[in-house]
Structure 1
Amino acid sequence: MDHGIDYIDKFEYKEVVNVWEASVRATHHFLKEADIAYFKPLILNTYLDAVELRCCRDEYCKIIGFVGVAEENLEMLFIHPSHRGKGIGKTLLDYVINSLKVNKVDVNEQNEQAVGFYKHCGFETIGRSETDASGKPYPILHLELIKI
């Protein structure tokens, strides 16, 4: 399956948030319902405008995965759970590394699948924070792409 990279328009933000929420519910089992409710409007109204967005779409042009980048940092990468395991995350990650010069990502330590994915793709842990950027008690690993 060919996964082309596409831009995201502001009118598609609700669709992006739907992908985010489905992905988070499938992978972030450590989050409480209140946390998802807390982050959802922030994603929609603040975070999406703060990053450069790219996505992959299905054959019906629906967004099935997306990335957000700011200052060479990967700020978000989420794949709809019904499309996981199909190379979409790798396609998006390769794109932002090669085209947007991404070399760092912060990831929830408790999201073991994501940690494994980034390490498999050449990232290594360079630091750890006890809380996330919102001060919530979810440890964050700071990863950097190691050039060989």
Structure 2
Amino acid sequence: MSLDLQIRPYTPEDKSRLLSIWRAASEIGHPFFSNDQLNEQQKVVGEVYLPQAETFVAEHDDAPVGFIGMLGHFIGGLFVAPEAHGQGIGRALVTYVLERNRALELDVYALNETAIGFYRRLGFVEVERRSTDDNNQPFEVIRLRIDTE
């Protein structure tokens, strides 16, 4: 089932709700992180990524239900409120940014099989793997890419 969505640019007023979405989705998608690690990442998302990335917010009934953060053609993060999973929000956000870019890339944790399956269904393919994440933690990361050319 697909929701009636509006996608719009991030505003600072979105920060609190988007951090709540980020936290709830991260606890599901990244259960291998400790609470302390999630707390630290949440701080970075709020202080660095939301203000510095080109972030788009998906709204349903005037309330944010998901967001995607872009760093050029790189998806820095895609998060959907868990209660809205499976309703086409993630697909709509990826489609929205793909229409504005010829190609997209992203990194996903190898342990996040749900996300990997989601991106593969959209047509992303693996282009690289590395044994540690950006924080040099021993979590394998997969680089995925989609090209519309």
Query: Normalization by structure 1: what TM-score?
Result: 0.93
Q: CA deviation at 1:129?
A: 1.3
Question: Match of 1:82?
Answer: 83
Q: Is the 8 A contact 1:127 1:142 kept in 2?
A: yes
2:8 is aligned with 1:6: yes
- Give the whole-Å Cα distance in 2 for the aligned partners of 1:81 and 1:141: 23
User: Which residue does 1:17 correspond to in 2?
Assistant: 19
CA distance in 1: counterparts of 2:101 and 2:16, whole angstroms: 24
How far 1:101 sits from its partner (Å)? 4.2
Correspondence 1:101-140 to 2 at 5 A: 101-140=102-141
Q: Is the 8 A contact 1:96 1:102 kept in 2?
A: no
Q: How does 1:32-111 map to 2 (within 5 A)?
A: 32-59=34-61, 61-111=62-112
> How many angstroms apart in 1 are the aligned matches of 2:40 and 2:26?
13
Larger deviation, residues 89-98 vs 21-30: 21-30
> Structure 2: where are the runs of 5+ without partners?
none
- After TM superposition, give the deviation of residue 102 of structure 1 in Å: 4.5
Q: What SS does the aligned partner of 2:107 have?
A: strand
The alpha carbon displacement at 1:103 in A equals 1.4
Asked whether the equivalents of residues 110 and 139 of structure 1 are also in contact (C-alpha less than 8 Å), the reply is yes
8 Å CA contact retained: 1:69, 1:102: no
Over the aligned positions, Cα root-mean-square deviation in angstroms equals 1.4
User: Does the 8 Å contact 2:104/2:146 carry over to 1?
Assistant: yes
Give aligned-pair identity as a percent.
Answer: 25
Distance 1:136 1:48 in 2: 23
Residue 4 of structure 1: CA displacement? 1.8
Unaligned stretches of 5+ in structure 1? none
Structure 1 stretches of at least 4 aligned residues deviating more than 4 Å after TM superposition: none
The answer to whether the 8 A contact 1:109-1:141 is kept is yes
Q: CA deviation at 1:33?
A: 1.1
Kindly provide the CA deviation profile for residues 42-90 of structure 1, in whole angstroms up to 9, marking residues without a partner as x: 111111122101011121x221100000110111000000000000000
Does the CA contact (< 8 Å) of 1:74 and 1:104 recur in 2? yes
Contact 1:22 1:81 in 2 (8 A): yes
**Matched-pair contact (CA < 8 Å) for 1:128–1:141:** yes
TM-score by length of 2: 0.92
